[in-house]
Amino acid sequence: MPVNNAFREIAIEKAVKQTVLIDSLLEESPILAGMPMEPSTHGLSNVFEKITSVKGAGMVDFDAPLGSLDATTELEQRDLSIIGGEMFVGEDKAKKFGGASTYFDKKLPVILKNTGQQIEQAIIYNNLRAFAIEEGKAESVGGSGNVNYSILAVTWTKGEITGLYDPEGFGNGKVFDMTPINGGNLYKDTASGILGYGMRIKSYMGVQLANKRYISSLVNIDLDSATPKIPTEKMMDNLLLNCRANSSTVIYMHPRVLTELYDYKAARLQMSVGDRNVDRVIAYWNGTPIVTSYNFLNALEPKVTL
């Protein structure tokens, strides 16, 4: 990945004892794993200064009066989101597994894998894509139904477009705070009325989106209609221009969308009689890496009206 301080790196560095949990969380969530992270300024919220207008210095003649300089800013705040839930196991089942702790340890990997997928889908649709659409940084490819896809291009930028974590949580060596309910003692579950044991899992994370210049999107990509709406090469080029692409930029899409872009390489592919392998795969667009994720909706996005 072209970005530093990715979630996986920060999580493993800060929470050495939870490496196995981190691997489970990120197993099928490549966008979350590679998202750069910064500590929040105030625990569960991040306060930052947003520049709204700037008047900089200009060139003047000798002995000419100097112009005025000014920068207008606003203080804004982004709250982190809670990630967590509760697990419960009945007294008898816990005994069969050798205790409640053993039971929870066995169930956590599959739970965290699904948790990572849900977090990543929320980052895609509730944060990155929603921000691009709201700020007028999305271009329609032309799909009109409810079976569409999207492509995102994000230039991760320190202090402006970045993930956020609570340093008080990570600083204690835990990505997830795991606390036994009722002190780990037997209690009656109100939902089932069964006696057993519980575990509460909680963490805090957020996404700061403070500068629309560094994000862009292609929406309404329809691959299944009689006349498919597929991004043109020009659209892909503009996608990068519109997010001021640099070495910190990443393109995100569903794997099926990427297979459609293979045709742009195939049209230029030259083979000889002795070649036995047709390699149409692309992993970059104009030098910008492409990351695919199955956490994009698969032909289920409704049409976006811009």
Q: What is the pLDDT at residue 53?
A: 74
Confirm if 219 and 150 have CB atoms less than 8 A apart: yes
Q: What is the pLDDT at residue 1?
A: 44
How far is it, in rounded angstroms, from Cα 21 to Cα 8?
A: 11
Q: What is the pLDDT at residue 207?
A: 95
Q: What is the pLDDT at residue 205?
A: 92
Q: What is the DSSP letter of 69?
A: -
How far is it, in rounded angstroms, from Cα 199 to Cα 178?
A: 7
Q: What is the pLDDT at residue 164?
A: 94
Q: What is the pLDDT at residue 163?
A: 95
CA distances from 191 to 128, 131, 180, 194 (A): 36, 38, 18, 8
What tens-digit pLDDT sequence spans the chain (306 residues)? 445 689 988 888 877 668 888 888 899 999 999 999 999 998 889 988 776 777 877 787 888 888 888 777 788 888 999 888 999 999 999 999 999 999 999 998 899 999 999 999 999 999 999 999 999 999 999 999 999 999 999 999 998 999 999 888 765 667 888 899 999 999 999 999 999 999 999 889 999 999 999 999 999 999 999 999 999 999 999 999 999 999 999 999 999 999 999 888 766 656 566 666 666 667 999 999 999 999 999 999 999 999
How far is it, in rounded angstroms, from Cα 150 to Cα 160?
A: 23
Q: What is the pLDDT at residue 276?
A: 64
The residue behind tokens 């899992």 is 201
Element (H, E) at 132: helix 129-134
How many H helices and E strands in the chain?
9, 14
DSSP-assigned states of every residue in 154-166: EE-BTTTEEEEE-
